[in-house]
Structure formats: structure tokens, C-alpha cells
Amino acid sequence: MKSIHEQILEERQLIIEQKSDEIAKAIKEGTDVDEGFLATMLGGLAGVTAGASIMKAVCKALGLEKGMIYDLLTSKLVCGIAGAAIANNMTK
């Protein structure tokens, strides 16, 4: 049985593969590219790479040094999803 984390990652991977194919096809055909999805992908990548460091600083300011909340807020999965959501909302 797969964990919820593995299920989310698999679902996200399928979506990314489908959208990547759509973007490549649109570029080849010279049609419009879904800029919202590109922004969401970049936001997710930014969240994964820089989000954990930013959230560690936020946790330190809140007085959280360890524990479940600290682990949750600084996880790459949560930071990636947050970055993607922020970028997605900025494109609307």
C-alpha cells in the first residue's frame, strides 16, 4: 500500500508529464502556451529549492526548533505545493 506522500507525488508526476507534452506540442505548432501552468511549475520548483530555508527562518522566528509542526513546515513537499499555489494564484 502506497503512502499518501507517494500517491501525491505520482499524481503530480503524471500531471507534469501530460502538461509538458502539451507545452512541447504547442511550441512545435506555434500555438499559445499555457503560461499559468509554467508559472505553477516554476513556483513549485522555487518552493522546493528555497522554501525549506525560508520556512526554517520563519519557524525560528516563531520559536519552533523541532517537532511535527517544524518538520511539516520545512518539508520540501509542503514548500513545493505552497510555491506552486502562490504562483498559480498570481497568474489568475
The predicted pLDDT at position 74 comes to 80
What span, in angstroms and rounded, lies between the C-alpha atoms of 84 and 54?
Answer: 15
What span, in angstroms and rounded, lies between the C-alpha atoms of 73 and 54?
Answer: 10
Write out pLDDT tens, residues 22-73.
777 877 888 777 677 677 767 777 777 777 778 888 888 888 888 888 887 7
Looking up cell 504547442 gives 26
What span, in angstroms and rounded, lies between the C-alpha atoms of 42 and 90?
Answer: 12
What span, in angstroms and rounded, lies between the C-alpha atoms of 26 and 32?
Answer: 6
Task: Indicate whether this model's pTM tops 0.75.
Answer: no
What span, in angstroms and rounded, lies between the C-alpha atoms of 84 and 78?
Answer: 10
